[in-house]
A = this chain, B = another copy of it.
């Protein structure tokens, strides 16, 4: 297996793993399967990633990039703050639906991977910053009023995650039925409305 350089091969591995993970689940995918897909040996994978956890995290980071790309596009297209916040909701949902088998929660709980905390913290901060930006823009345009957009944004993200979690009757899982998705969506839209109202006074 010959490639231009180190980074290119890393990308190929991540993409192969992403495919397997999204189809069959991360824990049901073996390193041998990924190697076979790439027509290379398992040992090669370990030349690019110290262990499976690191590969898993890299796959999640890749998925995160795709998510933020969509979020930023959606946000840019929105005519105002209210629309921007409401449009984020289905983007989030589609992402969750598409990548539910990446076993995000498993990695999040796993303390074996030291960098994972940092990765998730950064993703959370980025998402919060996007919401804060939306609010700030709304304040600048006279649509909203807020003396602390960052704090409100953090609370907004935290509450939205909370609604998602409190609606999954089962334990902390990545599997959600279409019916549950719809219920979560409705609650999230309602909560967004409250926030928007609260930010208009």
Contact = CB atoms under 8 A, between A and B. Distances in A.
Nearest to A160: B162
Contacts of A159: 159, 162-163, 166, 191
Contacts of A108: 169
Interface stretch (A10-18, A49-57, A127-135, A150-158): A150-158
Interface stretch (A79-87, A93-101, A192-200): A192-200
- Most chain B CB neighbours (cut-off 10 Å) among A162, A165, A197: A162
Given A198-B198, A201-B200, A171 B169 contact: no
A81 to B, nearest CB: 15
Contact of A162 (B161, B169, B170): B161
A154 B153 CA distance: 22
Interface residues of A, number: 28
A39 to B, nearest CB: 39
Contacts of A162: 159, 161-166
Contact of A109 (B155, B161, B169, B200): B169
A122 to B, nearest CB: 17
B158 A194 contact: no
A108 B200 CA distance: 38
A100 to B, nearest CB: 17
Contacts of A158: 163, 166-167, 187
Given A108-B169, A159-B159, 4 more contacts: A109-B169, A161-B162, A197-B199, A198-B201
